[in-house]
């Protein structure tokens, strides 16, 4: 700024020299230019400071910073004034299953003509009114959506995802599984071999629950559909040594599952993917896996025979020899 003012004044003087005589020069304006401001530390008055060369290294550091080490440690321990609690958010899927479906107790075991079967039908009719409201929201973004057709589509996604899991194909898994379900699906399968097979479906897949919700802003809608699978499957898990840990490849089992599928309706490239699985409280728990452990090497301790020590009384030894 100061240099610009000086240049402007110089140009004015040069332009006016031609009209003004040399005997009557123009008055020179003196403009004070501010230099670099230096910060000088204020020293306390009436203090006797020793010479710099006679100070130790620690005293020199205290003198330069004008602060004690205890005060410096206290300042370092203090938390920052603004503490931010940041958390990662994935926009392509939600972080949990909202309003999860509660399966009726004894589902898949009771016949439709028994009392329990009639109770299950009555509970399903209660959820019809709630699901139709969310079904309209889904059809706004996907007009051709049908619960009957989607049940078989979900079954194909379920089979392809488990085939990709036993082949450990991460690219296909990310296309068929959400970011929330992916770590839950592959956890504990490192250095293991999985043999899974879908044999047949005992009952047709059925959509039992529908939910839609907005996240962050209104209009950013996510849809979650719960599908009921009742099928026959085989599962065998082997450890890294090839030993069977759980299941069997030859004996199929009846499996009843409630799988949640999710789609980002507001996204242009959203697709239906597996989001999680609902395990009812009355379901039978799995047996723990048989793990293979390395036996620790046992050190064989050989006991050495101690030599017989001579007795302390020589008179006793002489008497024994004499009697012999």
21 assigned to some structural domain: no
- Domain assignment of residue 271, given as a range: 115-278
What is the model's pTM?
0.62
Q: Tell me whether residue 306 is in a domain.
A: no
- Inter-CA distances, 97 with 94, 213, 226, 276, 286, Å: 8, 11, 10, 7, 23
- Which residues pair with residue 207 across a beta bridge? 227
CB 222 within 8 A of CB 137: no
Question: Is 101 part of a structural domain of the chain?
Answer: no
- For residue 214, the surrounding DSSP H or E stretch is strand 193-214
Task: For residue 206, tell me if it sits in a domain.
Answer: yes
**Alpha-carbon distance 191 to 181, whole Å?**
20
pLDDT of residue 20: 43
Q: What is the pLDDT of residue 309?
A: 63
Collapsing DSSP states into helix, strand and coil, what is residue 170? helix
Distance CA 265, CA 274 (A): 15
Contact present, 194 and 209 (Cβ < 8 Å): no
* pLDDT at residue 18 in the model: 47
| Residue 105 belongs to a domain | no
Residue 90's pLDDT is 80
Q: What is the pLDDT of residue 1?
A: 52
Number of domains in the chain: 1
In a domain, residue 194? The reply is yes
Residue 62 belongs to some domain of the structure: no
Nearby residues of 249 by Cβ (< 8 Å), 6 or more positions away: 195, 197, 234, 236
- Which residues of the chain have a pLDDT value below 50? 14-29, 320-324
176 is a domain residue = yes
Q: pLDDT by residue (tens digit) across 183-206?
A: 999 988 888 999 999 999 999 999
User: What pLDDT does 115 receive?
Assistant: 67
CATH number, residue 172: 3.10.450.240
pLDDT at res. 23 = 43
How do residues 214-249 score in pLDDT, each as one tens digit? 888 888 899 999 999 999 999 999 988 888 988 899
CB 105 within 8 A of CB 111: no
CB 172 within 8 A of CB 85: no
**Under the phi-then-psi rule, with left for phi > 0, alpha for psi from -120 to 50, and beta for the rest, what region is 242?**
left
């Amino acid at each position: 700024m100061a240099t610009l003012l000086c240049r402007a004044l110089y140009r004015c003087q040069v332009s006016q020299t031609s009209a003004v005589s040399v005997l009557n020069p123009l008055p020179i304006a003196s403009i004070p230019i501010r230099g670099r401001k230096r910060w000088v530390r204020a020293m306390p008055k009436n203090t006797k400071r020793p010479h710099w060369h006679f100070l130790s290294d620690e005293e020199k550091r205290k003198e330069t910073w004008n602060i004690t080490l205890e005060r410096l440690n206290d300042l370092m321990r203090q938390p920052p004034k603004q503490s931010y609690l940041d958390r990662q958010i994935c926009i392509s899927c939600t972080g949990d299953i909202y309003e999860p479906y509660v399966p009726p107790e004894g589902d898949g075991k009771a016949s439709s003509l028994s009392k329990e079967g009639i109770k299950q039908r009555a509970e399903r009719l209660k959820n019809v009114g709630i699901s139709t409201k969310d079904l309209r929201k889904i059809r706004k973004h996907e007009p051709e959506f049908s619960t009957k057709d989607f049940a078989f589509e979900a079954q194909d996604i379920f089979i392809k995802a488990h085939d990709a899991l036993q082949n450990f194909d991460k690219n296909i898994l990310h296309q068929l599984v959400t970011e929330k379900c992916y770590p839950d699906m592959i956890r504990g399968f490192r250095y293991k071999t999985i043999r899974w097979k879908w044999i047949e479906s005992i009952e047709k897949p059925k959509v039992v629950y529908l939910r839609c919700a907005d996240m962050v802003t209104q209009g950013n809608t996510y849809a979650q559909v719960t599908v009921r699978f009742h099928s026959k499957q085989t599962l065998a898990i082997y450890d890294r040594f090839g030993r069977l840990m759980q299941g069997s490849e030859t004996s199929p089992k009846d499996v009843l599952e409630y799988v949640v599928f999710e789609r980002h309706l507001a996204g242009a490239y959203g697709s239906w993917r597996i989001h999680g699985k609902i395990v009812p409280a009355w379901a039978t728990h799995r047996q723990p896996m048989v793990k293979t452990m390395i036996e620790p090497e046992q050190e064989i301790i050989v006991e050495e025979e101690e030599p017989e020590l001579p007795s302390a009384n020589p008179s006793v030894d002489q008497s024994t020899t004499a009697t012999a």
